[in-house]
Chain A
Amino acid sequence: MKILVPLKRVPDPELKTKIKDGSIDLSGASWVVNPFDEYAVETALRLLENGESGARDGGEVVVVTIGPADAAQQLRSALAMGADRAIRVDGEDKALDSRTVVAVLQAVIAEEKPDLVVMGKQAVDGDANQVGQMLAAKLGWPQATFAASVELPADKATILVGREVDAGVEYKRIPLPGVVTVDLRIVSPKAVKNSVTPDSFAYGDGPRYASLKGIMAAKKKPLAEKKLSDYGATPAPVIVEKGVELPPPRKAGQKVDDIPTLVKKLVEEAKAV
């Protein structure tokens, strides 16, 4: 089974947001793999391996990013986790919008013919949550977004996805090929089942860390360098940023000494109770 995981680098979400000349100041940014995409890599690996023995019986995880030369680093991180092969399509973040990204991914998929696409539900910089669903529409494939659990039966013809929706969890089964976008809880210990890993086995919480061996191995794994034009795409964004502002700061709050004072203030000052 071949799984394609599109991934994106994002500025480290823990760093303070700064604005310069009407856009986000990224001059001092340190870049990380978008957390949800990292979870997608973890999901793909768990789908293919026996979690208990660590062995993998065939299958391939291909990671792809569209980004500048530096973004190869984030692909190497995914390779170090255990992905097999990477593709970087050269593109500047500013010149890309969801439509361009979808067009490139569609062309990559036509070439790679994966059985499944697993990706993050959103990138935590733009927070748009569009690419997975748009891609599924373009491909005419079914989609299962916001996956908190996945279950791959032995015949690998379908996947059962536990989707976190407003009212609870919806269990949706889609035939493959299809697009799955993952939510946070997909990396909890028993969220991924694949008919190979014993049901009793529990992963550690969160995505795996790359081992030293994994990091060494990643250096030798294939990383193809491509151009947008290789996929017939041109950077002609239809979504253009016109400006960025910081949200108005909340007015400074106050510490109150005890609960009776709090309730008094909630009643008299805030009129909230």
Chain B
Amino acid sequence: MGNVLAYCEFGGSTLKSSALSNLSFARAAAAAHGGEVIALLVGQGASAAGADAARYAAKVVVVDDAALEHYLAETHAPIVARLAGEHGASVVSATATTLGKDLMPRVAGLLDAGMASDVSKLAAGNQFVRPILAGNAYSTVEVSTDVICATPRQTEWPAAEPGHAGVVTTAPAGDVDALGAVVERIESSKSDRPELTDAKVVVAGGRGMKSGENFKVLEELADLLGAAMGASRAATDAGMVPADWQVGQTGKIVAPELYFAVAISGAIQHLAGMKGSKTIVAINKDPEAPIFQVADYGVVTTWEKAVPELIEEIKKVKAAR
């Protein structure tokens, strides 16, 4: 007992950056429980990423099966639960991505485990600090089951550093039963920009942008800075920009070095997703907008005036370097 089974998402032959946060959580949990980290890769093609995972964990278990072509909670959860038992795991974790959030409570259900969601800190082996009330408070919870499930929050756990020459083993998928569930299609908004949750700079726009067309100028700013695009719920709901740009309590949680909130009022649900950013810049025409209370730098003006000027000024700085 005492081991930590860390479910890791991968793409092609490498772990996703979100998985590296899970591995740093897993190392902390393994130290607290006196066990070791076992990285688990599940899915068709998982073998290809085994070697990369072995750079981060002493043990890697790969479950690679053609029946696991699409991720489904129904097929992955029983595999994770079974391997948790076989490997003496007292903690089972996955990063709190939409996949981890879909999967891990199902695993907890199968294991009859207590679970801590969105973990930001480990207070003790079975005590977890986590945001509640849209990040307006942090709660420390103690989970008293023998096996504990957890989803660490990506922005709160730095990417694990490599430094292992781990051993990769394979495990069978067993009977894969999707309970009739099928993924019919995935509509992804492809983009050349960095992933929102990984980006060093995020440029986000809100309702005050008024139309999707107007976001072009923000995209120009973003591309100048190598930034990802974000948005408030009001902007995504109005169909100005894709839903997966939404930042907030119910969108993505981001913590870039630099966050631009343009024509965003700063509702608590939005702040919940970006308050952890290192430097926050707000551009809003309303001097009373709550976003100014969290912004390091605020400019009271319209985006129509500010953003083109910002682009010019940044170009000047870049040219001078």
Contact = CB atoms under 8 A, between A and B. Distances in A.
Interface of A: 11, 13-14, 17, 19, 24, 97-99, 102, 121-122, 124-138, 140-146, 148, 158, 160, 163-175, 183-185, 188, 205, 238-247, 250-251, 253-260, 262-263, 265-267, 270, 272-273
A257 B309 CA distance: 13
A184 B273 CA distance: 15
A129 B135 CA distance: 14
Contacts of A171: 183-187
Interface in B266-306: 268-269, 275, 278-281, 287, 292-301, 306
Contact of B141 (A166, A242, A270): A242
B24 interface: no
A124 B133 contact: yes
A24 B136 CA distance: 10
With a 10 A CB-CB cut-off, give which of A99, A138, A163, A246 has the most chain B CB atoms.
A99
- What interface size band does chain B fall in? 35 or more
Contacts of A98: 105, 114-115
B233 interface: yes
- Decide if the interface of chain A is mainly helix, strand, loop or mixed: mixed
Contacts of B178: 142
Contacts of B127: 242
Contacts, number: 260
Contacts of A142: 74, 178-181
Interface in B12-67: none
Contact of B73 (A133, A169, A272): A133
B219 interface: no
A241 B141 contact: yes
Nearest to B225: A273
Given A165-B98, A242-B141, A263-B310, A125 B133 contact: yes
Contacts of A254: 296-298
Nearest to B306: A259
A242 B142 contact: yes
A14 B142 CA distance: 28
Contacts of B118: 127-128
B220 to A, nearest CB: 15
A203 B117 CA distance: 34
Nearest to B305: A259
A253 B98 contact: no
A272 B279 contact: yes
With a 10 A CB-CB cut-off, give which of A19, A141, A172, A260 has the most chain B CB atoms.
A172
A99 B108 CA distance: 9
Nearest to B188: A168
B188 A135 contact: no
B109 to A, nearest CB: 3
A146 B313 contact: no
Q: Which 9 A-B pairs have the closest CB atoms?
A: A137-B109, A168-B188, A133-B105, A134-B109, A175-B180, A238-B114, A17-B136, A130-B105, A263-B313
A243 B279 contact: no
